[in-house]
Amino acid sequence: NILVDRGGNALPIRKFALLGALISLVSCTNPMMPVAGPESGDVRGHVQDADSLPYALVNLNPQTMSVLTRRLPGFAGVFTDRRPPQEVRFGKGDVVSVTIFEAAAGGLFIPSEAGVRPGNFVQLPNQAVDEKGNITVPYAGAVRAMGRTAAEIQNSIVNALRNRAIEPQAVVALVTQNTSLISVLGDVNTPGRVALQQGGERILDEIARAGGPKSQGYDQWVMLERNGKRVTVPFGALVNDPSKNIYARAHDTIYLYSEPQTFVAFGAVNGAVAAGGLVGTQGQINFGAWRLSLAEAVAKAGGLNDSLADPASVFIYRGEPRNIAKELGIDISKFNGTIIPVVYNVNFRDPAGYFLATKLEMRDKDVIFASNATAVEHAKIMNYIRLVTATAND
């Protein structure tokens, strides 16, 4: 029952038994050790408290990337009518002009004396569409204008005057448009209401008519409200993806606002580099662009810490819509709500993992967590044991 150390001193076996028991105790109660977040085994094994939020773990591979690299639906995914807007129709308050032509002098509007006036037409004073939706034309009475195009109003005027004037013709023009308007608000240089154009203009065209965005645009979002529905997309998405730049329609509200896209980096990262140096091993980091890949995000966080990180245990925390989660192979019946908590695991120990990381686009408010290597946790335990035994020896 006696062991001898290098100095020839006898050491009872019971001391080694006590040391082994202490190692076993500390290893089994590892949660007492300091750590920046969950261990990789806990994340993969879904080790959670009974009251914690359930989540799904998905490995980042070519199959999952084929789902995640699909473009998220923007304006076109909600507002499916991609046709150009129809002709502008008049509404209450619109100011219109009416010009009436006759084929010869001596008619209803043109005097018999040919030299009295130039031309064979008469222009009526500009008038607004009244509360009943009508305009007034002499000898034709009230003519319906609300909800009709200029051509339709012209035909009504001609039909009303056909039996009284000499081959009448009418031209109706919109002088001031007060109803078919589009509101462009927020971070634009000249916010206000702009008139809908006959040829049809897209969302970016309306923003340009309002003076364009005040900043470069990568931190700006565009919200479109139409018929009670609201959809928000990054301004850069409208510029880079023409399918999202849909036609504007009457009564649309376009609102631009600035909100920097950010992600959070925790765990075994070196720290985000700022003008004054490192801002800490964990923190909130701006995209600095409207689109950022996972590889670029890890680089912005200072890269993985060579002394701490397990490159095979880098996790991205994100909420996914139920349809995307289902395509990823997740059993969505286990989850409530429209958003499924998903933890993606990327393996940077595999050289191919870096190619996957360059394709995965970060989303606003994503969380990156780099787990410590197992050896780091073991080293913490050994240091703790050394502290205890040294104190006991003292």
**Sign of dihedral through CA atoms 47, 51, 52, 58?**
positive
**Cβ–Cβ contacts within 10 Å for residue 79, how many?**
17
Helices 13-28 and 374-393 pack at an angle, to 10 degrees, of 140
Quickly tell me which residue has 């012209």 as its tokens: 154
Residues facing 304 on adjacent strands: 269
Model pLDDT, residue 97: 94
Which of 65, 59, 33, 128 lies closest to 377 in space, CA to CA?
33
**Closest of 93, 178, 168, 128 to residue 136, by C-alpha:** 128
DSSP labels for 135-200?
EEETTTEEEE-TT--HHHHHHHHHHHHTTTSSS-EEEEEEEE--SSEEEEEESBSS-EEEEPPTT-
- Amino acid at position 85, single letter: P
Q: Band of the pLDDT at 61, cuts 50, 70, 90?
A: very high
pLDDT of amino acid 345: 94
Distance CA 286, CA 275 (A): 14
- DSSP-based helix, strand, coil % in the chain, nearest 5: 25, 30, 45
DSSP state at residue 218: T
pTM for the structure as a whole:
0.69
**pLDDT tier at 72, thresholds 50, 70, 90:** low
Q: What is the pLDDT of residues 90-116, one digit of tens each?
A: 999 999 999 999 887 777 877 766 555
The length of the chain in residues reads 394
Handedness of CA 225, 231, 237, 241 (dihedral sign): negative
pLDDT at 243: 82
Decide: 187 and 255 in contact? Cβ < 8 Å: no
Query: Does pLDDT of 1 surpass 50?
Result: no
pLDDT of residue 199: 77
- pLDDT per residue as tens digits for the range 277-302: 444 446 888 888 888 999 999 999 88
Query: Looking at the predicted structure, is the pLDDT value of residue 9 above 80?
Result: no
| 29 band by pLDDT with thresholds 50, 70 and 90 | very low
Q: Which two tokens stand for residue 132?
A: 């009943």
